[in-house]
Every structure is written in structure tokens, then in C-alpha cells.
Amino acid sequence: MIDLHTHCFFSDGELVPAEHLRRVEILGYEAIAITDHADSSNYDFLIPRIAQAAKDLNPHSKTRLLVGIELTHVPPGLIAELASKARTMGAQVIVAHGETVVEPVIPGTNRASLLADIDVLAHPGLISEEDVKLAADRGIFLELSGRKGHSLTNGHVAALALKYGAKLAVNADAHGPGDFLTSQMAETVALGAGLSLEQYGKIRQDMSDFVKGL
């Protein structure tokens, strides 16, 4: 199990990184990224703190903690610059908050994010075919979300990703201990989006390969 999109108490999550990591270690996770909500006001606060947590905790955990960030409701014109700054500061996993149908995300956020140095486009909503093609070309994961509301368009995202060869990631978008996906629930998210077990197996392999490359 790998999750590339979760939140701790540095933004709107509930847990300190140590408990966050321990909770998923018990669930058998290979790796988890803490990707707290950020814009230009706080990315330089968040990244060093998650990096310190990873440095301290990883030697003591079977689950690898990855240093991440989620660029959230950032105006499209600022996404590329902020992603570059986050990468320079040491973010291993950069998630962009996509155009979910349950929040007023600025139109054009999906496209601007896919043109920037990101790894995951979270809950991309009713993403266009052109943007899915761009994600495929750039090797960016499109998220199938386990979170209520955001998950409403998982089937749409999965169908287009399969059509155009874009990579998919199953993520919890966890904010508290009850949100982490078990292996069975992660599989259910994938199957519920219309994927086969074989296709879900490829998702798991792609996510594992990504983490091994970090």
C-alpha cells in the first residue's frame, strides 16, 4: 500500500506526523506522503517540518514517510512558480488540488497544474480529454479519491485515463485516523471506478515504481 495524498495537523489534518506514520505502518503501508495544504504563504513552513519528521521517523518505521505538499486553490498563473519553489525546498511529492466538483476551484487549474512540475493531480473532477492526454504525456498521476465528494468523478477520471494511457493513483486524501484506506478499501475504490483487478494491480505497481525512484 502507498498513499501519495494525506494531511497532518500542520494544515487541516488531526495527527502529528509520528502518529500519522504509525497508523499506516500498522496497516502495512510501504510508503505515505504527507501533503499538507499550501500556497505561497506557508509552503516554506510546511516542507522543512515534514522533512524533519521524515529524517527522524524513517529509521524507526517500516513505512517510509515522504515529504510532500498540496498546492491548494492556488491561482493557475502561480502554480508553476510555486511548484518549482516547493521542489527546490525538498518536496518529493507535489500534489496539485484539482478541479473537484465539490469546491469552487478556478477553471484552468487542472491544465496549469499539468504544465507544472507536479507528481499528482488530485481529484481532477470532470477533467477534459485534452488534459488527460497531457497527464499521460507528462507521466503525472491522476487521482482516484477515497474521500467523499471528491470521489464522485472517479469513474470519469478512470475511463479517460484508460483511454489515453494516463497513470492513476488511489489515494485517501486522509485528514484523520478514520480516513486511511485499508488494502481492501483501496481495491474497492479502484473497482468502484470501473477498473479490473488487473488494472488496479498496474496502479499499485506504478505507484511503487514512483516511490522507489525517489
Q: What is the pTM of this model?
A: 0.98
> What is the span of the domain harbouring residue 152?
2-212
Residue 80 confidence (pLDDT): 98
The parts of the chain modelled with pLDDT lower than 70 are none
The span from the CA of 54 to the CA of 144, in Å, is 25
pLDDT at 94: 99
Q: CA neighbours within 13 Å on the CB side: how many for 194?
A: 13
Strand partners, 65: 32
Q: How many domains does the chain have?
A: 1
CATH of the domain at 70: 3.20.20.140
Q: What is the largest CA-CA distance in the chain?
A: 44
Burial 38-65 (b: 16+ CB within 10 A, else e): bbeeebeebbeebbebbeebeeebebbb
The answer to whether 68 and 42 are in contact (CB under 8 A) is no
Give the model's pLDDT for residue 195.
Answer: 98
Angle subtended by helix axes 197-212 and 183-192, to nearest 10: 120
CA atoms of 26 and 136, how far apart (whole Å): 33
Q: What is the DSSP letter of 143?
A: E
**What was the pLDDT predicted at 188?**
98
